[in-house]
Amino acid sequence: MRKLSLLFIFFIGFINAQKLTADEVSLISQGDIRTALPIYQTTDEHQHKTLLSLSSEIDPLDKNTAVLVNRMKESLLSTDGGVGIAAPQVGINRKVIWVQRFDKPEEPLEYFINPLITWKSEIQNLGPEGDLSIPEFRDQFYRSQVIQLEYVDLEGQKYSEIVEGFTAVIFQHEIDHLSGILITDKKEKESNDHYQKVEAFKKVML
């Protein structure tokens, strides 16, 4: 009985942790809720702090989550060629992203709630990346060629899929945002040798 009680308390705590705060709801619903939210920039001290903060999971069934998802899409569409966006980039430290699916016919934009990368390939590619929140910055980065992804939709339905190529790069970039990781920070760590660099392709021993 005690074990069941502890599990119930944990479950309630998990649900409560997903609830949006009053400040988050206010930001999501301010102005015309059918239009884009402003995209945060690293050049603003307060916005930069938000971009560096960890994001928590969000309740997919909360009506405000749907508003956030829709407004994030409008924010992405308002950019000049953006291929992905994460909720911290509109001031909400919650796990929601949009990604352009170059791996699907017609290259649609799709949203992902509480996305989690459960596996990454050892084979990596080196390619260029920029960021909607970092003006005039672009550089080369290593990213895994293939990832396995889990996420839910606005109905709470859970999905798992394998993604590869440039679309996998976008997912890795946007999910980094949910951990407060910016590509400028990654480049600084690389230049200071704070982590071990990996080869783009590993030799397979037969």
Which residues, 6 or more positions from 186, have their beta carbon under 8 angstroms from its beta carbon? 141, 176
| Radius of gyration of the chain from its Cα atoms, rounded to whole angstroms | 18
Q: Which of 122, 136, 174, 199 is catalytic?
A: 174
DSSP structure string for 124-167: EEEEEEE-TTSTT-EEEEEEESEEEEEEE-TT--EEEEEEEHHH
174 catalytic residue (yes or no): yes
Q: Torsion over CA of 104, 105, 106 and 107, rounded to 10 degrees?
A: 10
Catalytic positions, please?
Answer: 174
